[in-house]
A and B are shown apart, each in its own frame.
Chain A
Amino acid sequence: MDALFLQQMVNGLTLGSVYGLIAIGYTMVYGIIGMINFAHGEVYMISAYLSAITLALLAFFGLHSFPLLILGTLIITVAITCAYGWVIERVAYKPLRNSTRLAPLISAIGISLILQNYVQLTQGARQQGIPTLLEGAARLDFAGGFVQITYTKIFILLASFIGMGLLTYIIKCTRLGRMCRATQQDRKMASILGINTDRVISYVFVIGAAMAALAGVLITMNYGTFDFYAGFIIGIKAFTAAVLGGIGSLPGAMLGGLILGIAEAQFSSVINSDYKDVFSFALLVVILIFRPQGLLGRPKVTKV
């Protein structure tokens, strides 16, 4: 346990927590309709743009205190991103609900291209950025070195864990959560029992978009820069995290994100950052060989 190890844990945890937030969108959609929503990375990208626009607008109208600014940005960004999530589901996936499994997948790739190009055309191809919102860092002298954590990173950790906690509460303890779980277990049975499964599926897309929007605000705050292509790499990483943790499982997505983030950080610290991604995907392969359902996924039971 030395300072470098601790610093890398901090790096990995902050990176992993946002992977986890985005992975939730993949895992919930897969859980409920068995489809991989490849446009989810783009939903995150849209929310990054929205958060920068909202920040600029709020600052323009004279809002300068950090808590109010970030709260306002979060609420507005999450609301608009949720609308995007809802519309995407209605336009691209709902009409294909009863067609072959491949159709919505292709449709998702199409939506992802549409969103990328739409943002590029309306916002320009240049890199965008926002100024630093929360300056300063906490410094911890430790065993001959030091660990430095910016306040932004502490905020990210807190916000993403609160977000995950809130979502877990919604799924576990509320009526909406019960409807989601029922639809996930058996869509036909749930609809016979009076659950409007189409609406539940829409809710799931909205929840996934909300989590992606939270991640979008946090990442934009932390790195301060994004472009229309920003959703691609992080989308793939988050998808990996979802599969790692067991796709379809909510705690699995969060755990998968954290493991992936920490693994990347520690690997590039101890061995070589050139092969960081090779290592993450090798880890995925190994886990899938020994646990095909992922870490926390339920093995598929063949129904007779």
Chain B
Amino acid sequence: MKTNNFKIKALGLALTAAMGLSTQVCADIKIGVAGPHTGANATYGDQLWRGASQAAEDINAKGGINGEKIVLVKGDDACEPKQAIAVANRLVDSDKVSAVIGHFCSSSSIPATEIYEEAGVISITPGSTNPKLTDRGYSTVFRICGRDDQQGIVAGNYIVDVLKGTKVAIIHDKDTYGQGVAQATRDQLHARGVQEVIFEGLTRGEKDFNSLVSKIGASGADVVYFGGLHSEAGPLVRQMREQGLKAKFVSDDGIVTDELVTTAGGAQYTDGVLMSFVVDPRGLPQGQEVVKHFRDKGYEPEGYTLFSYAALQTLAAAYKATGGTDNEKAGAWIKSHPVDTVMGSKEWDEKGDLKTSPYVMYRWDASGKYKQI
């Protein structure tokens, strides 16, 4: 009896010792989720956070990465370059993240990735489409979305081939992303032999674009292309309709949110708005289970939610395959292996861009929803 008791005690001691040891060895893998969690574009930050949290939950439930759990750290850049640098420094220096999902706005991603590159931290952006991001020869920068030049080609071709636009007014929001995609569209229009009648910027944060709208009206434009985000696209399209302009309104993947209807003041204004966006990942067979999971929780995984989910899956796959969090090996692995994600199989080129980027056109309808054309 006594020996038995002793044995049990010894076993217990050994177990606690082993457990204590294991918690010391298995430190969690910290991954930052950086984006606009506050500010006018907080809705996108929310999408990134929800996508990444769900992915972390699912991966952890299946045993994590090599037995280690993923812990997410939120980084709020409010879509402001200055704040993005501060957040990037914080994530690298004090949170000591292994990798970052984000940022969202190109104007934030470009400066922030300089810090990640220096620290050897992998960053995968679910939404920054500006070409410059991956054109600088950085080895740690990836994106799981398209590039503005690809987007501009699709939008430009659509304007010429389907809308038969001859007088195109191009408006942008003077931001890295908006102006970049507007320029890419303009280049494609030039290549197809169409000259724009107006190429001008508006100020982000303002609500009154009436004078610009009058000018577009006077130019006789039959198509208006807007490069920018929904917070300006909504008021712009509303003021166009209020002044009696019937020109088609085409925009980019910065307006992919139901808030477009809110900012325009009703679906009667956004009816017929066209936009370029990648094939909606919610419709792909690989993601059905995850999409159902989101919907069961009462959340519709719109916009960039699944992009963020897929970004974390990619990181997890790379860390698993290379057996640790060595970012040099993981980065090289991502560039040489296809990864199965909720958005299908993805492959990356040497720059960190996706090898194929399927941009297609969408149309908003009178009930305030968008559908692929």
Contacts and interface: CB of A to CB of B under 8 A. Distances in A.
B244 A148 contact: yes
Contacts of A150: 242
Contacts of A128: 262
B238 A224 contact: yes
Nearest to B213: A11
Interface in A183-231: 219, 223-227, 229-230
B303 to A, nearest CB: 13
Interface string A74-116: 0000000000000000000000000000000000000000000
A7 B218 CA distance: 10
Interface stretch (A160-168, A251-259, A270-278): A270-278
Contact of A127 (B201, B208, B244, B259): B259
Interface stretch (B5-13, B37-45, B51-59, B102-110): B37-45
A304 interface: no
Contacts of B201: 273-274
Interface residues of B, number: 36
Given A148-B244, A264-B211, A273-B201, A125 B264 contact: no
Contact of A131 (B202, B214, B259, B266): B266
Contacts of A130: 265
A116 to B, nearest CB: 10
Given A125-B42, A229-B39, A7 B265 contact: no
Contacts of B264: 129, 224-225
Contacts of B200: 268, 272-274
A67 B211 CA distance: 28
A46 B243 CA distance: 29
B352 interface: no
Interface in B129-160: none
A223 B242 CA distance: 11
Interface string A1-31: 0011001100110110000000000000000
Given A224-B264, A274-B200, A277-B203, A125 B38 contact: yes
Interface residues of A, number: 44
Which among A12, A125, A150, A229 has the highest number of chain B CB atoms within 10 Å? A125
Interface string A124-139: 1111111110000101
Nearest to B206: A233
Nearest to B231: A127
Interface in B226-252: 230-231, 234-235, 238, 242-244
A126 B215 contact: no
A210 to B, nearest CB: 22
Contacts of A274: 174, 200-201
Given A129-B265, A131-B265, A232 B212 contact: no
B207 A269 contact: no
A145 interface: yes
B215 A4 contact: yes
B244 A137 contact: yes
Contacts of B217: 4, 7
Contacts of B42: 124-126
B210 A15 contact: yes
Contacts of A296: none
A241 interface: no
Nearest to A232: B205
Interface of B: 38-40, 42-43, 174, 200-203, 205-208, 210-212, 214-215, 217-218, 230-231, 234-235, 238, 242-244, 259, 262-266, 268
